Chains A and B, each alone.
Chain A
Amino acid sequence: MSMLRRLLGLLPVYVFLYLPIAVLITFAFNDSKYSVSWKGFTWKWFGKLLENTQLMDAAVNSLTVAVLSASAATVLGVLAAVALYRYRFQGKRLMQSALFVVMVSPDIVMGVALLVLFMTLGLKPGFLTLFLAHTTFCLPFVTVTVSSRLAGFDGHLLEAAQDLGAGEFRAFRHVLLPMLFPAVLAGWLLSFTLSMDDVIISFFVTGPEFDILPLRVYSMVRLGVKPDVNALSAIMFGLTVVIVFTSQLLLRRKR
C-alpha cells in the first residue's frame, strides 16, 4: 500500500526525466519530418544518418578520441588511485586537491584554461589537444571509482603479498589489479561516456579540421529539429544505457 504510494511520489520525476528522451526516440521512427502526429514507422532516418558523411566522420573522430583518452585516463587514474592509497608522499594533499578541482570545476573554466594552455604551448587545436583535454577531465572520475573500491579492501592484503615475497610492482600486478578490475573497467566505460558527451570543453580545444559528434550535433540543432539527429540520439541513448548498466553491474560485484 504505502510502497505504491511512494512509487507514485517518485513517478513524476521519472516521467520528467524520461519523457523527453522517449518522445525523441519515438520520433526517430516517425515517417514525418516535422509533425508531431504519427505518420507510421520507418527506419529511413537511420539510413539518412549513415549517408550523412559529415556526421559519420565526426562520429568516428569522437569514438577515436573517446577510446584513446578513456584508456589513457584509466592508466593514469588507476596509478593515481593506487599511489594515493599506498604511499605517503610530499604533495599528496596537492594531488588530491588537483583531482578534486578538475572534477568540480565548471566545464567552461576548464575549457578556456586548457585553451590558454594549448595556445601557450603552441599546440594546434585538433586531435591531440582534444585527446589531452579529455584524458584530463576523465582522470579524476577513474581515480574516484577505483579509490572507492580500494577503500573497501582489507589493508592487510597488500602486506600479505609483500610478506610472501612480492615487490611493489608484483603486489600491484597480481593482487591489487585483479581485485580492482571491475572498478577499472567501470572507470574506463564512464570515461568513454564522459568523452563522448562533452560539449563545452571540446568546444574550446578542437579546431575546424577535426570535428566531433557533440559539436557537429550542436551546430546542426541550433538551426532546428533534424530527424537524423533523432536517430542518432536513439543510438547514443541506447549505448549510454548499456554502458551505465554494465558499469553499475561491475561496481556492485563483490563489494
Chain B
Amino acid sequence: MSEERPVIRLEHVSKTFEGETVLRDVCLDIHNGEFLTILGPSGCGKTTLLRLIAGFESPTDGDVIIDGRSMRDVPPNGRKVNTVFQSYALFPHMTVFDNVSFGLRMSKVPEAEIKDRVLQALRMVGLSGQAGRRPGSLSGGQQQRVAIARAVVNRPLVLLLDEPLSALDYKLRIQMRTELKQLRREMGITFIFVTHDQEEAFSMSDRVVVMNEGCVAQVGTPVEVYEQPVNMFVARFVGETNIFEGVAGQIEGGTLHALVEGRKCDLSSRRGFKPGDRIRVLLRPEDLLVEREVPEDDEKLWLPGLITETVYKGSTWDMIVRLDSGNEVLVTEFFDEDAEKMNFQAGERVFVSWFDGWEVVLPHEDDEPV
C-alpha cells in the first residue's frame, strides 16, 4: 500500500482565518480506495480540512496534492473530487434527475450517456422511481441519497462526506452506515468522511484520523486508535477511559516497574520512561476486572474500593467503583449467565485489577486537567 502513490497528499497544510489558526502543519497521505474518517470535536478543523481538499478554501501554507497534481489555484470545479454536504445542498428548483445530472451537464457529457449514468446512480442509492420529484418532497433519508448519487455520478477520485448523517434520526443513521460501506466497496473509490461521532467513525472506516485543535493527533485503524491511543486527548475523546496516576521506575525489557496509585506494579510499555517520570495508566472499562476477594497466588495489583453505583445497560452491566485512593473508575462487565459476580451490589467492597498487558501507559501531560 505504501508503495502506491497516495490519491491525496496534504503537505504541511496550515490555514489561518483572520489571525486565528484553524489548521496547523497537517501532513497526511490518503490511499486509493480507502475509507478514511476524520474524527474530532467541533472546532478541531476537520471540516476546514475537507473544504481545503474540495477547494472551497485555499491553504495559508502548504499544498494539497490530488492524484499527483498540486491543487494550488485550482478551483472546486477543476478538481476530481465531489462533496456530499451536511445540509445536502440539493438545488430546490430542480428535479432529482436534474440535480443528479448537474455535474455531467457541466462537464458536457453527451445527453444519452447522462441519462444512463443518472438512472444507474439513482438505482445504486435505491431511488429509481423518484427521478421526477423535487428535493422538497423527499424525506431526509431520500435527500441524503440524492446528494450521494449527485456526487458519485461524476465518478470522482475521492468522495468527500461532511457529517452527512448528522441530520438523520438514529435508526436511519445506523442503516446508512452499512449502505455507505457497501457503496464504497461497489465503487472502489476513496471516501473521506468527517464526523464527531466515534462510533460512526469506527463502524465504517479503514483508517481514522483523530484531530484536535487544528492538528492531527493520531492516524490509525479503529482498533489501533481505540486500543493504543497516543495521548490523553485521543484516549478521552475515543470512548470511556479510566486513568490511574503513577510514577515510573526502572525498565527491564518490555516491563516497566512503576508505582500505580501509590502501589508497586509491573506494566508493559514500549515507551521510554526515565525513573521518576510521572505517568498515567489508561484502561477501558471493559478491560477492568472486579473481584470480591483477591485471588490466591495472584501477583497482579489489586486495588481495593467500594461500589458506589451499578447501571444495567442491557448487554452490559456497568459499575462505578470508588477506589480507596479516591479515584473513581467505571467498569463494564459483559453478561455471563453463569458468573455469580453479576450480582454485585452498590455498597459492596471489591478489588479492581485488569488483564495483563491491556494497559496503555502515557506520560503525564501537565497541562491536562485531571
Find the B residue at minimum CB distance from A159: B56
Find the A residue at minimum CB distance from B154: A164
B212 in the interface (beta carbon within 8 A): no
CB under 8 Å from chain B, chain A span 141-190 = 154, 156-157, 159-167, 170, 174-175, 178-179
Contact call A154/B102, Cβ cutoff below 8 A: no
Contact call A160/B89, Cβ cutoff below 8 A: yes
Interface of B is mostly: loop
Contact with B along A242-255 (1 / 0, CB 8 A): 00000000000010
Which residues on the A side are within 8 Å of B90 (C-beta)? Answer: 160
B358 in the interface (beta carbon within 8 A): no
Find the B residue at minimum CB distance from A157: B89
Q: How far is the CB of A139 from chain B (nearest CB, A)?
A: 25
Which residues on the A side are within 8 Å of B89 (C-beta)? Answer: 154, 156-157, 159-160
Contact call A175/B76, Cβ cutoff below 8 A: no
> How far, in whole Å, are A64 and B266 apart by their CA atoms in the complex?
94
- Give the A-B contact count at a CB cut-off of 8 A: 63
Q: A154-B89, A178-B93 are in contact. Are A167 and B154 (CB under 8 A)?
A: no
Contact call B92/A165, Cβ cutoff below 8 A: no
Of B3-11, B80-88, B195-203, B286-294, the one touching chain A? B80-88
Q: A170-B106, A179-B92 are in contact. Are A160 and B83 (CB under 8 A)?
A: yes
Q: A156-B85, A159-B56, A159-B83 are in contact. Are A165 and B91 (CB under 8 A)?
A: no
Q: How far is the CB of A178 from chain B (nearest CB, A)?
A: 5
Contact call B103/A165, Cβ cutoff below 8 A: yes
B255 in the interface (beta carbon within 8 A): no
> How far, in whole Å, are A178 and B92 apart by their CA atoms in the complex?
10
Contact call B83/A154, Cβ cutoff below 8 A: no
Contact call B93/A163, Cβ cutoff below 8 A: no
Contact call B106/A166, Cβ cutoff below 8 A: yes
Q: How far is the CB of B148 from chain A (nearest CB, A)?
A: 13
Interface size class of A (residues with CB under 8 A): 10 to 19
Contact with B along A32-58 (1 / 0, CB 8 A): 000000000000000000000000000
Which residues on the B side are within 8 Å of A254 (C-beta)? Answer: 92
Find the A residue at minimum CB distance from B98: A174
> How far, in whole Å, are A161 and B90 apart by their CA atoms in the complex?
9
Contact call B107/A165, Cβ cutoff below 8 A: yes
Which residues on the B side are within 8 Å of A170 (C-beta)? Answer: 106
Find the A residue at minimum CB distance from B102: A164
Q: Which of B54, B82, B92, B150 has the most CB of A within 10 A?
A: B92
Find the A residue at minimum CB distance from B147: A160
> How far, in whole Å, are A170 and B108 apart by their CA atoms in the complex?
12
B275 in the interface (beta carbon within 8 A): no
Which of the residues A160, A162, A167 comes within 8 Å of B91, measured between beta carbons? A160
B77 in the interface (beta carbon within 8 A): yes
Q: A170-B106, A174-B102 are in contact. Are A162 and B93 (CB under 8 A)?
A: no
Which residues on the B side are within 8 Å of A165 (C-beta)? Answer: 77, 103, 106-107, 154
Find the B residue at minimum CB distance from A165: B106
Q: List 16 A-B contacts (CB under 8 A).
A: A156-B87, A159-B54, A159-B85, A159-B89, A160-B89, A162-B75, A163-B54, A163-B56, A163-B76, A163-B82, A163-B151, A164-B150, A165-B103, A167-B75, A179-B93, A254-B92
- 10 smallest A-B Cβ distances: which pairs? A164-B103, A165-B106, A156-B89, A160-B89, A162-B76, A156-B85, A165-B77, A163-B83, A178-B93, A166-B106
